[in-house]
Amino acid sequence: MAAPLKGLILCGGRSTRMQQDKSLIAYHGVPQWQYLYELVQSILPEVYVSCREDQRENLRADIDLITDSVEGGGPSAGLLSANKAFPEAAWLVLAVDLPLISAQSVNYLIAQRQPEKDATSLISPVNHLPEPLIAIWEPSGLKKLWQNVMDGRNCPRKTLLNADIHQVENPFSAEHFNANTPDEMKEAGARLGLK
């Protein structure tokens, strides 16, 4: 039987290259965390925002939060904190640095889910590797991520590369664009028709 699927918006990065908190950039008229939260909430009944303790004050009090409670850096801390809070759940994960992602990509990913695998991941159009932060992580995949992090290997992509996953080409692959620098933020704005 498939694990219940919950949504997770990962906001806990330090945004060093962007020089400002990526979760607060308003590409769509609201902070990016809120855009993604509401997007996934329109598709799944339970959605959580993953953040660091010091980010809580920038988020609305009425949303469901999972504060990083696991040692280690990067997105693995958010993923594993979610797994710690709800170990029986599978997680549809979106990183906050995806300004072009829309419901069509999220719905496509959910339609392609294979819950008997460790994860279902969209494939990056840039390097043709699995996208660990546009993915559905099953409990078995998160167990492997736990083991890797405990062994000092924090990279979720490397976990996927060594796991039994279902990789999917996204017909809407332009939506994978990551905005991690001020120049990429401007490019995202241009693609969205912002002035």
CA dihedral (154, 43, 29, 100) positive or negative: positive
Residues annotated in the binding site for GTP, as ranges? 10-12, 22, 68, 97
Residues annotated in the binding site, as ranges? 10-12, 22, 68, 97
**CATH number of the domain that residue 102 is part of:** 3.90.550.10
Confidence of residue 169 (pLDDT cuts 50, 70, 90): very high
Task: Provide the β-strand partners of residue 91.
Answer: 6, 137
CB neighbours of residue 33 within 10 Å: 25
Give whole-number Cα distances, 125 to 105, 118, 134, 149, 176, in Å.
13, 21, 12, 27, 8
pLDDT at 89: 98
pLDDT at 123 over 70: yes
Q: For tokens 């020089």, what's the residue?
A: 19
* pTM higher than the cut 0.75: yes
Quote the domain boundaries for residue 121: 5-192
Residues annotated in the binding site for Mg(2+), as ranges? 97
Interval 117-142 mean pLDDT = 97
Confidence of residue 18 (pLDDT cuts 50, 70, 90): confident
pLDDT tens for 61-89 read 778 888 887 766 678 989 999 999 999 99
pLDDT at 93 over 90: yes
- What is the number of structural domains in the chain? 1
Confidence of residue 50 (pLDDT cuts 50, 70, 90): confident
